[in-house]
Amino acid sequence: MNFTIGQEQESDGRWLAEVLELPGVLTYGATPLEAVSKAEILALRVIAEQLGA
């Protein structure tokens, strides 16, 4: 399963990353890598919760 992670820098300097296929999976980080890493972790949690439901 592949997901698309979009990222952009906010005006305050923070980086935003979101998993486009999973609504609500949106994270911030100080760097692009940090934001993407957090989004990946959150996506795995969301998928695990959906599988357990």
Q: Sketch the domain layout of the chain as residue ranges.
A: 5-52
**pLDDT at residue 53, as a whole number:** 66
Q: Print the SS3 string covering 23-35.
A: CCCEEEECCHHHH
Which pLDDT belongs to residue 13?
97
Residue-level pLDDT at 24: 94
pLDDT at 34: 98
Q: Residue 8's beta-bridge partner residues?
A: 16
Distance CA(40)–CA(36), nearest Å, equals 6
Q: What is the pLDDT of residues 1-53, one digit of tens each?
A: 789 999 999 999 999 999 999 999 999 999 999 999 999 999 999 999 999 86
- pLDDT computed for residue 17 by the predictor: 98
